[in-house]
Every structure is written in C-alpha cells, then in structure tokens.
Structure 1
Amino acid sequence: MKALNLATEFEMQSMKETKTIKSYADKQLSIANKVRLLGKDFPNERIVQKIVVTIPEKYESKISALEESKELSNITLGELVNALQAQEHRRMMRHGVAIQGAFHIKAQNIGGGKDKKNN
C-alpha cells in the first residue's frame, strides 16, 4: 500500500518554475528509490519520461532537440539532467543570475589569495 502511495506521489509531481532541474530530478529519484526499497520495480526510464513531460515549457527546445536527434529514446537519467542543466545555466548566465557551483567558486579563486601558485 505504501508503494502505491509513493507511486501516486511520483505521478502527481510537476516542476515549479522556481526549482532547478537538479533539485527536481533529485526529488523524483528519491521517490522512485523509496518505491524500489518496498520491492516494486521502478525503471529509470519512467523517471526520464516523467521529467520530460513535467518540466516547464522553457526547456521545450532542448527536449525537441533530443527527440530530433533520436537520443531521447535511449537517454539515461544522468544524461538528461546534464543536458537540461546546461540549458538552465546558459539561461541564467544570459539573464545575469549568479550560478552556484564550479563557476562561482572558480570566479572567487581568480581574485587572489595567499597561495598564488594554485590560482
């Protein structure tokens, strides 16, 4: 019964405009893993399909490109998330939004510090 409730929760999820691709994919994977722990089959392909159908329209161009290149039919969850994150980062950079992560840290390190060799 709990697996059914989790599967229903999975189906009811949709990505909010304010969420990042990574956080949304992590949430979907978390629900899927809980279902798996209860002994039910839950293929990653189902997670990929769910993400493709429920992400905001601003990612439609990337999904279309993946469909046209025939990659969408056999793309892994990691590959999908990476492709969508790349688009998300490009959009953020165009709109001047600060990006957390490697780019942000690298920019801080360029400014200098005690150990100039590592910069």
Structure 2
Amino acid sequence: MDSENNFSRMAPPIFDGENYQLWAVRMETYLEALDLWEAVEEDYEVNPLPTNPTVAQIKSHKENKTIKSKAKTTLFAAVSTTVFTKIMTLTSPKDIWNYLKKEYAGDERIRGMKVLNLMKEFKLQRMKESETVKGYSDRLLGIVNNAQEQRTLMRQDGMVEGALVASHKTQSKGKFLKNYPPCQHCGKNGHPPYKCWKRPDAQCKNCK
C-alpha cells in the first residue's frame, strides 16, 4: 500500500507539444500503474443510480465516477499550459487522449512528410569552414536524433533509414575531400596528391 501511495505522488510525464510518441508510451504506463488506463481506453459511461440503489450499486457508482475523474485530472496535469488550453473544454478522458493523438501524432501521410522534410534538411547541410569532420558528423546525427517522433516509422521503412545513413556517409566523405589540404603539385583542394594529374609520375592508363 505504501509503494502505491508513493507512486501516486510521483509527477506524471509532462507533454509540451514535442515528442508525442515517447510521451504517450510513458503516460499510458503511468495511467496503468494507477489503475486509470481503463477509463481512458474504454470511456465507459457512469450510469445514474436507480431510485432505490443498493449499497453495492452506490459503491460501484462512486468508484467508477471517481476513477474517471482522476483519469481526466491526471491528463490535465500531464500537459503544459499551452497544450492544456486546447483540451480544457473536453470532458471525457478518452476524448482528451484521442485529441492529443490526432493533433500531435498525425496520420501516416503527415508522418511521411515529416520524414521527407527531415531527409531534405539532412541533405542541405553543409560543412562550415571552421568545423571539423567530427563536428559536422555530430551535427548531422543530431538532426536525426531530434526527430524522435519519426523513429518508429523510420524503422518500419528500412529504405528511409538506409537513405539517411548513405547520405551521411556520402556527404561526410565529400566534405572531407573538399577540405583536403592543397595539393603540392597543382595547389588545388579536393583531391590527395597521389591522384593529381600534374604529379611528375602521372601516366595515362591507355597510351602510357
């Protein structure tokens, strides 16, 4: 009993409008631990008491009403002020949950567009002159890590994740060559000295 009371005093995970998928998993687990998830998932109706209710009916009615009220209160407490203003007029815990899912998770088309936008942003990145290869690589990986809401979709579509990895490798290699020290034979960047056509021992493969 003490452990249950201690858990109930733990603050719920707060949703501020970002990373909905992560919050939803944590919040569902939190509600289950408090025996409140059923009120969110099933959205049962609390029927009015009959004219001459029994003690059992009164007890059951009170418990169902209390659980539903606690579920709603917990959801209200688990969002930021900005998000709360969007759901404060909703009366049912299930309506609140469904609204947040629709508003912040989006449908497959929207998630797909987010992935495409991520890939576009990824490809448009350029190495800064003062940036090291490691710093540039870390910045690219940071873009991927910030799109945590899309990871489930990206795992389902291996081609998307593969494209990001391939793009990362290609861009890193290209930017590394671009920042290669000036060639000792021609003075230009972008290639190592042993590949320069102006080196003394350069030969044409065809005519020698």
TM-score, normalised by the number of residues in structure 1? 0.50
Pairwise mapping of residues 30-69 of structure 1 onto structure 2 (< 5 A)?
30-33=32-35, 43-64=67-88, 67=89
* Greater relative CO, 1 or 2 (CA 8 Å, sep 6+): 1
Structure 1 position 25 matched with structure 2 position 27: yes
The Cα shift of 1:63 comes to: 1.1
Aligned 8 A contact 2:20 2:105 in 1: no
The Cα shift of 1:6 comes to: 1.7
Tell me the matched-pair count: 87
Q: Which residue of 1 is the match for residue 14 of structure 2?
A: 15
Q: In 2, distance between residues paired with 1:44 and 1:25?
A: 16
Residue 13 of structure 2 aligns to a residue in which SS? coil
Q: Which residue of 2 is the match for residue 93 of structure 1?
A: 110
Q: In 2, distance between residues paired with 1:87 and 1:58?
A: 13
Cα offsets for 1:90-116 (capped at 9, x unmatched) = 49938x434657xx89xxxxxxxxxxx
Q: Which residue of 2 is the match for residue 80 of structure 1?
A: 96
TM-score, normalised by the number of residues in structure 2? 0.32
Among all aligned residue pairs of Structure 1 and Structure 2, give the percentage whose two residues are the same amino acid. Answer: 10
Structure showing greater radius of gyration is 2
In the alignment, residue 15 of structure 1 is paired with which amino acid? I
Q: In 1, distance between residues paired with 2:80 and 2:110?
A: 18
Q: Which residue of 2 is the match for residue 114 of structure 1?
A: none
Change (3 A) 1:8 1:53: closer
Give the unaligned 5+ runs of structure 2.
37-62, 116-149, 158-208
Q: Which residue of 1 is the match for residue 7 of structure 2?
A: 6
Change (3 A) 1:61 1:13: closer
Bigger helix fraction: 1
The Cα shift of 1:88 comes to: 0.6
**Runs of 4 or more off by more than 4 Å in structure 1?**
98-101
Q: Which residue of 1 is the match for residue 53 of structure 2?
A: none
Residue 4 of structure 1 aligns to a residue in which SS? helix
RMSD of aligned alpha carbons: 3.7
